[in-house]
Structure 1
């Protein structure tokens, strides 16, 4: 999955968390370094780190 093209953009993604449960987040992608995605979670209002291999789906969010 090419998450790198979303750096600087807000996306909604579905991923497997560290306990292998499905989760959905709305995040602003800050950087992608190899297999690590650093983002700001808009719901939790804080930085988060995701593994590319656990991201199942990505959709850009349209800001109105």
Structure 2
């Protein structure tokens, strides 16, 4: 499975301080190992290193929103 621009995905991420977090993000761009995205938890733009994503999957739809 390959992530694509416009997808909403859930990731498990290892940040540079060594902290593991789980986030739901909307992918805005992918280039040179960096993923530009909007973090849907904080509604803020973020850049994630592809090499620091430990796991990812397509986000499940929230049918009750």
For the superposition of Structure 1 and Structure 2, which TM-score range results when normalised by the shorter chain? 0.7 to 0.9
* SS of aligned partner of 1:19: coil
Shift >3 Å, 4+ stretches = none
d(CA) in 1 for partners of 2:51 and 2:7?
20
CA RMSD, Structure 1 to Structure 2 (Å): 1.5
Instruction: Give aligned pairs, total.
Output: 62
**Structure 2 length-normalised TM:** 0.85
1:44 equivalent in structure 2: 42
1:16 equivalent in structure 2: 14
- Structure 2 spans left out of the alignment, 5+ residues: none
* SS of aligned partner of 1:53: helix
Give the structure with the larger helix fraction.
1
**Structure 1 length-normalised TM:** 0.86
